[in-house]
Chains A and B, each alone.
Chain A
Amino acid sequence: MPQPSLDELLETLRKLQALQRVTDVGIGYLPLEQLLNELLQRIAEILDSDTAAFLLLEEGGDSLLATAAKGIEEEVEQGVRIPVGRGFAGRIAAERRAITIEDVDHADILNPILREKGIRSMLGVPLLVEDQVIGVLHVGTLHPRIFDAADTELLQLAADRAATAIERARLFHQRGVVEALQRSLVPEALPEVPGLELAARYRPAVRRGGIGGDWYDAFTLGRGGLALVVGDVMGHGIGAAALMAQMRTGLRAYALDGHTPAGVVDRLNRLLLTLGQRQMTTLTYVVLDLEREQVTLVSAGHLPPLVRAPRGETAVLAVDGGPPLGVSSVSTYRETTFDFPAGSTLLLATDGAVEVRGEGIEAGLERLRTLLAGAGDLVELCQTVADGEVRGSPADDDVAVLGARLQLLPDTLRTTWPASAETLPAMRPLLRRWLGRWGAAEDEIYDIVVAVQEASANAVEHAYAPGAATYDVTAEHEQGVIRVVVSDRGSWREPRGTHRGRGISMMRALMESVDVTQDEQGTRVELRRTLGREAA
């Protein structure tokens, strides 16, 4: 073999320097499109080619999409797709090896643009990341050229480096999109429900591209009901996150439409199937009835919920679970109702919280149960679970966890509310629960709640100059007598208008005594009623 000439050595050195430019740290942070164009420019220079193009494997892996091109820009503009296994690029991807074409006219070429452009010779190599094909890089010349082994080696080196840069840029971009999507999907704030403590955490997966389809949701339903959801769309990435968004919206829509918990999950299953995505989704849907102190649960192939009773005993709830959503249109879901007395804690989580590879799910559930048994603060508990305490290390899958604790109501209920009519529906379940504690009958509860709400509505109406005004409601029980004081810091106004002033007459009709006192501090309405007397 002859010694390389000085010119040849210089040429090799020049190419190596050029190759170095393919991996410049700086370009790694360019947006993907810009990065690809920059890489093509540099690769065309190194190989001294007229054209260069990246075709990237599409999601699903069946075809390559022309994503960036130099000299054959039409390829990208027209969105050329090449099936894997066919044509020049398709064969490179399928066979995972470099292919050269000496004469395009006598070769198996799918893309007519290559011929139209007058390309004569081509060289293409696969883009590999961790042994997986992510696309194809090819160069071409307008004059006949024989690409030799050195050219192939050089292009493959460039392709390897480009593949890493592309993957990094793509993941960076994808992660940004998914995270934004995910942030918008986790409720901004949990609903504030008097007498109930709620906490939740979502922790995205840490591994590459691992952002997934776990979610939680919590929203109020009418009349003292609260909906709690923890779900898991199988898979990762934008597809899973987008499907999760649809599931979350669908569930809310069905629930707010007044369907039963099982009816909601039945419909969600059919919805998922009509979306044409056989992507398995598991979830637990819970309706917490604050007044009856009950939870009704439906599980679609999901990790069972855990509960801690007021005295501290913990259990995995035996929910009559159905199959995951999106498996079959004939799946049916049943609801199971459990007592959930004040002081109880419910914990819902996704697999990622407990799953350890090579271990049964029961072992993880058992550790979660132990953690729940010893838990104090609910927020801390959710954080601990999300951090991977149950697994012994942070999860490599994403984790969603949601906890709810029904608070024990004190003998004397002291509450402060913002001066807004929106507080009225939130107050009712709390008052009903508290009155129920003292053995008040249905009618009595109704009457007292209406009277307290009339006084509260007045307090809201008197409020006030603009600003963060509040009013207080204090309820006491003494020897069968309920006494409720509603006080505000506004001044009592005589009701105006034809149909005003019914509130005060209703209060008087519903309670034994109604005392309104006013001073410069504000207005105070004291309501009394003895339980067990004749109804109004």
Chain B
Amino acid sequence: MTDLARVAAQWHGELPVAVVHGEVDASNVAEIGVALRGLVTNRSSVLVVDLSPTTYLDSAGINLMFSLGDELRGRQLKLRLVIAPGSSISRMLSITGLDKAYPTYPTLDDALSA
């Protein structure tokens, strides 16, 4: 993976959390996709993607979230997104309707306790 972005995996019991640091664009979205999909297991019914430390997300990244959500749904799994309210990322999500398609939470704790 390039130094542009980094996916840090966290396990809260059986529940996987992918924390996406840095910038996601068309140049690294494929690698980010591989990292996120690598965290999907059948032991948990949920995947949390924490976009609060993400500093840039373009349509390639947003498309990835939609595709990932579709795939999870096909396996009876749920996608939860953590988005810092009022951030540039949250504006991109509302422009594209991603925040309507999947439940979003202001903090990781909220996403975990939901």
Contacts and interface: CB of A to CB of B under 8 A. Distances in A.
Interface residues of B, number: 27
A422 B91 contact: no
A505 B96 contact: yes
Residue of A221, A449, A498, A499 contacting most chain B CB atoms (<10 Å): A499
Contacts of A209: none
Interface residues of A, number: 32
Contacts of A422: 27
A503 B27 contact: no
Interface string B72-106: 00000000000000001001100110000000000
B31 to A, nearest CB: 12
Interface stretch (B9-17, B36-44, B53-61): B53-61
A502 B6 CA distance: 24
B88 A424 contact: no
Contact of A453 (B5, B22, B58, B95): B58
B27 A506 contact: no
Residue of B21, B56, B62 contacting most chain A CB atoms (<10 Å): B56
Contacts of A509: 95
B96 A222 contact: no
A498 B21 CA distance: 27
B63 to A, nearest CB: 4
Interface in B1-50: 2-6, 21-23, 25-28
A225 B81 CA distance: 28
A506 B23 contact: no
Contacts of A500: 63
A79 interface: no
B95 A506 contact: yes
A428 B3 contact: no
A327 interface: no
Interface string A126-139: 00000000000000
A424 B95 contact: no
A449 B55 CA distance: 12
Contact of A499 (B3, B23, B67): B67
A457 B62 contact: no
Contacts of A221: 3
Contacts of B66: 498-499
A535 B94 CA distance: 13
Given A509-B95, A536-B95, A223 B55 contact: yes
Interface string A457-493: 1001000000000000000000000000000000000
A510 B95 contact: yes
Interface string A490-530: 00000000111011011001100000000000000000000
Nearest to B1: A256
Contact of A502 (B5, B28, B62): B62
Contacts of A446: 56, 88, 91
A336 interface: no
Contacts of B21: 258
A222 B23 contact: yes
Contacts of A453: 25, 58
A457 to B, nearest CB: 5
Nearest to A423: B27
A442 B103 CA distance: 27
A450 interface: yes
Contacts of A498: 66-67, 70
B92 A222 contact: no
Contacts of B88: 442-443, 446-447
B96 A425 contact: no
Given A223-B56, A424-B27, A499-B66, 7 more contacts: A221-B3, A256-B3, A446-B88, A454-B58, A498-B67, A498-B70, A505-B95
Interface of B: 2-6, 21-23, 25-28, 55-56, 58-60, 62-63, 66-67, 70, 88, 91-92, 95-96
A-B complex: 10 closest residue pairs judged by Cβ atoms: A421-B27, A499-B63, A503-B59, A421-B26, A446-B88, A502-B59, A509-B95, A499-B66, A457-B26, A256-B3
21 contacts: A220-B3, A222-B3, A222-B4, A222-B5, A223-B4, A256-B3, A258-B21, A421-B25, A422-B27, A428-B56, A442-B88, A443-B91, A446-B88, A449-B56, A450-B92, A453-B25, A457-B60, A498-B70, A505-B96, A506-B59, A506-B62
